[in-house]
Structure 1
Amino acid sequence: MRLGLALPTFGPDAGPEGILRVSRTAEDMGYDSLWTGDRVLAPLVPGAPYPSADGLMPRAYENHLDPLVALTFAASHTTRVHLGTSTLNGLWQPPIMLARSLTTLELLGRGRLVVGLGLGWMPEEYTAVSVPWKGRGARLDETLEILEKYWANDVFSHEGPLFTIPETVVGLKPSRRPGPPVLLAAFTPSGLRRIGRRFDGWLPVALPLPQLLGMWDVILKEAVEAGRDSSALRMALRVNPELTDTKTGAGSMPWAGTLGQYVDYARTAAEAGVHELFVDFGQTPVTLEERIDLAGRFLEGVRRG
């Protein structure tokens, strides 16, 4: 199982020093990937609860970097680690602009990009970027279609329900053909079906492993029914540790526990066939030095197993 680390693109360490320290240290330690998230607003009173046990949006989100710019900065200071978005809200800009940005990053990163898309949870962010909240699934399908055309063709055009692109030459091509892998963060039945039939893999957040693997089975079944090679799909599992000083009960994991419990969770995930797992130590208030120390101890603990 590959192991990754979230970059500090939220909170007090979201800046050049934090990105440099974490990206370089992660690569030196032997991590396989670096990941960024996506926010454009931090409303005082969000119109929808944050998808967590308490429903409260983390205060760290009040300070947020652009995820693709942050990854480009990390790419320029690393050579080996993959560069992923978890998640990029891919509906907040026209697909042709998204295609250009992703392809540019893929080229500058020398083929290391992993595109993780999501639909977000906050209607206010859609209002802020003048994109309708309703019809997100159809908008996602058409966006993916345009990305695939952009990467696969030297000349293409598109005319769909939402977007029209006049015939154009596409000289900008990703180094990894036909394009970077595109994963989707989704948990609804329609979302799982969409992953199995259209995407390269799944980007879930940590859940009890039996529940997680049950949804993965649904995705694989959908892939087979669509005539796809289900063995080619990949799962990249995000873990947002809420670290405690003492061991929590089984019902609290993977939402809260000691570092040792999260190490055990990662080992069990590897045994269950999870392809990649990455952790975001910024979910617990820590200093940059503590974040790096936790990353080293976590990696050492998982590898020992």
Structure 2
Amino acid sequence: MKLGLALPTFGPDATPEGILRISRTAEEAGYDSLWTGDRVLAPPVPGAPYPSGDGEMPRVYENHMDPLVALTFAAAHTTRVQLGTSTLNGLWQPPIMLARSLTTLDVLSQGRLVVGLGLGWMPDEYTAVSVPWKGRGARLDETLDVLAEYWTSDVFSHEGPLFTIPETVVGLKPSTRPAPPVLLAAFTPGGLRRIGRRLDGWLPVAMPLTPLMGMWDTVREEAAAAGRDPEGLRMALRVNPELTETPTDPGRMPRAGTLGQYVDYARAAAEAGVHELFVDFGQRPATLTERVDLAGRFLEGVRRG
């Protein structure tokens, strides 16, 4: 199983120094990937509850960087680790602009991009970018159509229900051929169906492994039903540790526990068939030095097993 780290693109360590230190820590220690998230707003009282934990949005989101710019910076200071978004909201800009940005990052990183898309959870952000909250699934499907056409065509145009793109020559091609892998964060039956039938993999968040692997079986079944090879799909599992000083009841994992409990969870995930697991040690207050220390201890613990 591959292991990754979240970049400090939220909170007080969202600085050039923070990104450099975590990027170099990951590359030198032997991590396989770096990941960023996406925020455009951090309301004092969001219009919808945060979809995990106690429903309260982490206040580190009040200071947020552009995820693709941050990954480009990390790409310039690394040579090996993959660069992923968990998640990038693919609906907040016109798909032709998204295609250009993603292709540019894949070229500049020499084919290290993993495109992780999501639909977000906060209607306030859709209001801020003048995109309707209603109809997100249809908008995502057409966005995926445009990305696929852009990446695989020398000349293309698009005429759809939501977007019209006049004919254009596409000279810039991604280094990853035919296209960067596209993963989706989704948990509804429709979302899992979409992953299995047209995407490269799934971006779930940590949960008990029995329901996690049950949902993964659904994705694989949908892929087979669509005539696709389920073995070609991948799962990259996000873990947001809520670290405690003493072990928690096993029923609370992976919501909260000691670092050792999270190491055990990662080992069990590998045995269950998870392809990649990445941790974000910055969802709760932690200094940059603490994040580096935790990253080293976590990697050592998982690899030792």
Answer yes or no: is the 8 Å Cα contact 2:58–2:284 preserved in 1: no
Give the secondary-structure state (helix, strand or coil) at the position aligned to 2:282: helix
Give the secondary-structure state (helix, strand or coil) at the position aligned to 1:40: coil
Q: Distance in 1 between matches of 2:238 and 2:260?
A: 17
Residue 234 of structure 2 is matched in structure 1 by 234
Q: Distance in 2 between matches of 1:214 and 1:272?
A: 11
CA-to-aligned-CA distance 1:109-164 (integer Å, 9 cap, x gap) = 00000000000000000000000000000000000000000000000000000000
Residue 221 of structure 1 is matched in structure 2 by 221
Q: Distance in 1 between matches of 2:96 and 2:124?
A: 23
Residue 121 of structure 2 is matched in structure 1 by 121
Residue 211 of structure 1 is matched in structure 2 by 211
Answer yes or no: is the 8 Å Cα contact 2:9–2:67 preserved in 1: yes
Residue 290 of structure 1 is matched in structure 2 by 290
Q: Distance in 2 between matches of 1:155 and 1:182?
A: 22
Q: Distance in 2 between matches of 1:251 and 1:38?
A: 30
Residue 35 of structure 2 is matched in structure 1 by 35
* Structure 2: segments with no counterpart, 5+ residues: none
Deviation at 1:284, TM superposition (A): 2.4
Q: Which residue identity is paired with 2:248?
A: T
Length-normalised TM-score, structure 2: 1.00
Give the secondary-structure state (helix, strand or coil) at the position aligned to 1:11: coil
CA-to-aligned-CA distance 1:233-256 (integer Å, 9 cap, x gap) = 000000000000000001110010
Deviation at 1:224, TM superposition (A): 0.2
Answer yes or no: is the 8 Å Cα contact 2:37–2:86 preserved in 1: yes
Q: Which residue identity is paired with 2:232?
A: A
Give the secondary-structure state (helix, strand or coil) at the position aligned to 1:138: helix
Residue 6 of structure 2 is matched in structure 1 by 6
Residue 178 of structure 1 is matched in structure 2 by 178
Residue 110 of structure 2 is matched in structure 1 by 110
Residue 149 of structure 1 is matched in structure 2 by 149
Q: Distance in 2 between matches of 1:283 and 1:187?
A: 21
Runs of 4+ in 1 over 6 A off after TM superposition: none
Q: Percent identity?
A: 83
Answer yes or no: is the 8 Å Cα contact 2:11–2:61 preserved in 1: yes
Residue 252 of structure 1 is matched in structure 2 by 252
Residue 61 of structure 2 is matched in structure 1 by 61
Give the secondary-structure state (helix, strand or coil) at the position aligned to 2:244: coil
Residue 82 of structure 1 is matched in structure 2 by 82
- Counterpart check, 1:167 vs 2:167: yes
Q: Distance in 1 between matches of 2:223 and 2:25?
A: 37
Length-normalised TM-score, structure 1: 1.00
CA-to-aligned-CA distance 1:33-84 (integer Å, 9 cap, x gap) = 0000000000111110001131100000000000000000000000000000
Deviation at 1:283, TM superposition (A): 1.5
Answer yes or no: is the 8 Å Cα contact 2:60–2:284 preserved in 1: no
Q: Distance in 2 between matches of 1:248 and 1:294?
A: 18
- Counterpart check, 1:23 vs 2:23: yes
Q: Distance in 2 between matches of 1:218 and 1:95?
A: 28
Answer yes or no: is the 8 Å Cα contact 2:151–2:179 preserved in 1: yes
Q: CA RMSD in A?
A: 0.4
Matched length:
305
